[in-house]
Every structure is written in structure tokens, then in C-alpha cells.
Amino acid sequence: MINRLLVLFQLIAIPIYFIFFTIYWHEDITQFFDNLVSKHAFWQKILPPWLIWFEINLAIPILFSLPWVLLTLMRATRIADAYLLMSRALGKVRIDQKLFYGLNAAFTLVFIILPFASPIITIIGIIILTRAIMRKAYLGKLSKIFWIIPAIILIFFPILISVAFYSNYTVLWDKIFNLWMTSINVIFGYGLCLAIAISIGNFFLFLSEGSAKYNRDQLVRYDLVFLIKVILFIILSMIYFTTDPPVIVHFMNYVALALAIIEFILRKARNLPLEGSMGSGIVMVVAFSIVNILINLLSKIPNFADIMQSLVVLISGLIFFILFILSYKYADDEELVKKV
């Protein structure tokens, strides 16, 4: 039920996102079409007022969300099963890392994938869909080339609004990029504090697991370790955003990195399973820590900090999307889904 509710939420949330997108960029898109019509007689002839109104007010939410909505409707069950498989895979990862990867994936989706990939996906999707429909029409040899004509006609409106979007790309990208750059320090700061808390907490968990292995009366204190992570995260976040420079956070970063490496080596030496799913938890904790150290050492290089912070957030977010793609790939395996 939860997985199907996620599909329903996806079906509703994406068009709403593009409605807000249209409202936010309304003046820029309006200005683009005003300049287009006023400076070029050609566009005055082929762009009546009602079409310009449609392109400005409705084209983005309808056309840009179209491929996502159609895919969701056509593959609703498979997407729900993919969420189910993904949930099982993430079941091996504790809640702190689910939050860690999930937030980074959300920021990547909102800032990068949806706004800039959707126009291209829409155009390609219409071409593929037209080709598939025309081939289903059993037109014989004509179907091999005849589908091109209706495809060109159907992609005219999406191309026009995409041209409006990408022609004004500098203005739009500057605003989104500036928004990303003003947010990335906050995103990275919380991610770093969470990574440090995870690393230190995991080391305590590793020690607790080792004690429980040799003393059966002693239980692994998952609840206590989780509480330690939460407290550390809150304290480190307060220090990071209230002091400049956050020396204590940087020091704890070195400690967390050392503990993560020690834990990794000891687990390998003892043939113990790596923390998280396939060790990705340790990898990303180390990645955040190393990037923060490099930022401090190479802070004089222009834009180095912003680039490295963005890179590690994007990579950690992409891990989430790769997991979903793999889950979607195997979601057609009924036996595998039933096992979940």
C-alpha cells in the first residue's frame, strides 16, 4: 500500500512542481515570447495570441511533466514493485543513512534532473511514442518512414517552449545556479555533520558488536548508538553554522575519517560485513570527510569548495537513483517481488 501511495504521490507531485516552476519563471518566459514576436515577423505569423498564452502559462507544466506522468501511468505496478525492492535493499541501511542519501537525491532531482532533463526527455519521448503507435497501425512499409511526419508535428510545441527555455538558458541557469550555490554550503554542512555523526556512531556500534560477539549476555546497543548519532549531529550542526571557521567540526572530521578507516580495516581483517549496503555507507562518509579536508587545504583555489561540495552531493544523490533504476530493472521478476 505504501509503495502504491508513493506512485500516486509521484503522479501528483511532479505536475505541481512544474506549476510552481512556471510561476517562478513566468516573467522570463513572457519576456522571451514578447521579444520573439516583436522582433521577428516570421513568428508573428505562426504564433497567434492563444498559442503564446498556452506556451507561457500551460506548456511547461503539461509538456515537461508529460513523460513522467505517462511513464507513471503506464508502469504504475512496476514502479510500485521497484519501490518495494528498493525498500528491501534500503532495509539493510539504517535510518540515518537513508536520510543522508534521500536528502541528497531529493536536492539532485529538484535542482538538476527535473528542470533541465525534462524538455529533452519530452521531445525524445514524443518521437518514440509516435513511432511505436504508427508501427502498431500496421501500415506496412510506410510505417518505417511515415511516422516521422506526425512526430515532427507533435514535437513542434514542446520544441518551441524548450527553445524558450534554453534560449533564456543563461538567465534561468544563473538563477538556479545561484540558488544551488547559496544552498550547497548548507546542504554540504548538514551532510558533513551527518557523515561525522554516522562515522563516530558506527565505530561505537562496531565496538558494541565486537563485545556482544564474545559476551552473549551483552546486547548490541543499537538504540544508544542511534541516540549518540542524533546528539552528535545536532551539536555539530549548531557549531558548523554558528562559528566561522568551525574548527571543532574540522577536528571531528579528522577523528571521524580515522575511525572510519580503522573500522574498515578491522572489518576486512576479521571478515565482518561492511556497514550499510555493500559498504557504500563507509565510502560516502569517507568521501565527505576527504572533500572537507581538501576544501580546507585548497581553499585559495577559486570556486574549488563549491565544485567539490556539489560533486560529492551529486554523487551521493546518484547512488539513490542508481538503486531505483536497478530495482526497476528487476521489478518484472515476479518471484523476486513475491519474496519481498
Instruction: Kindly report, residue by residue over 163-212, the tens digit of the pLDDT.
Output: 766 665 556 666 666 776 677 777 778 877 887 888 888 888 888 777 77
Q: Which helix (H) or strand (E) holds 100?
A: helix 95-108
Task: Yes or no: say if 240 and 192 are a contact pair by the CB < 8 Å rule.
Answer: yes
Rg of the chain over Cα atoms, rounded to whole angstroms, equals 25
Q: Do 59 and 195 sit in the same domain of this protein? A: no
User: What is d(CA 272, CA 264) in angstroms, rounded to the nearest whole number?
Assistant: 9
Q: Do 129 and 19 sit in the same domain of this protein? A: yes
Q: Do 162 and 181 sit in the same domain of this protein? A: no
Residue type, 205: L
For the question of whether the overall pTM of this predicted structure is more than 0.85, the answer is no
Q: Which domain holds residue 307?
A: 172-339
Residue type, 322: I
Q: Please compute the mean of the pLDDT values over residues 256-282 and round it to a whole number.
A: 68
Q: Please compute the mean of the pLDDT values over residues 30-56 and round it to a whole number.
A: 77
What is residue 279's predicted lDDT score, i.e. its pLDDT?
47
CA dihedral of residues 47, 50, 51, 54 (deg, nearest 10): 150
Q: Do 179 and 151 sit in the same domain of this protein? A: no
Q: Do 268 and 126 sit in the same domain of this protein? A: no
pLDDT band at 235 (very low <50, low <70, confident <90, very high): very high
Is 304 domain-assigned? yes
In 3D space, the residue among 87, 114, 103 whose CA is nearest the CA of residue 284 turns out to be 103
Rounded to 10 deg, the angle between the 95-108 and 222-242 helix axes is 40
3-state class of 87 per DSSP?
helix
The domain total for the chain is: 2
Q: Which helix (H) or strand (E) holds 225?
A: helix 222-242
E-strand ranges in 37-120 read: none
Q: Do 129 and 224 sit in the same domain of this protein? A: no
Please say if the pLDDT value at position 231 is more than 50: yes
Q: Do 134 and 241 sit in the same domain of this protein? A: no
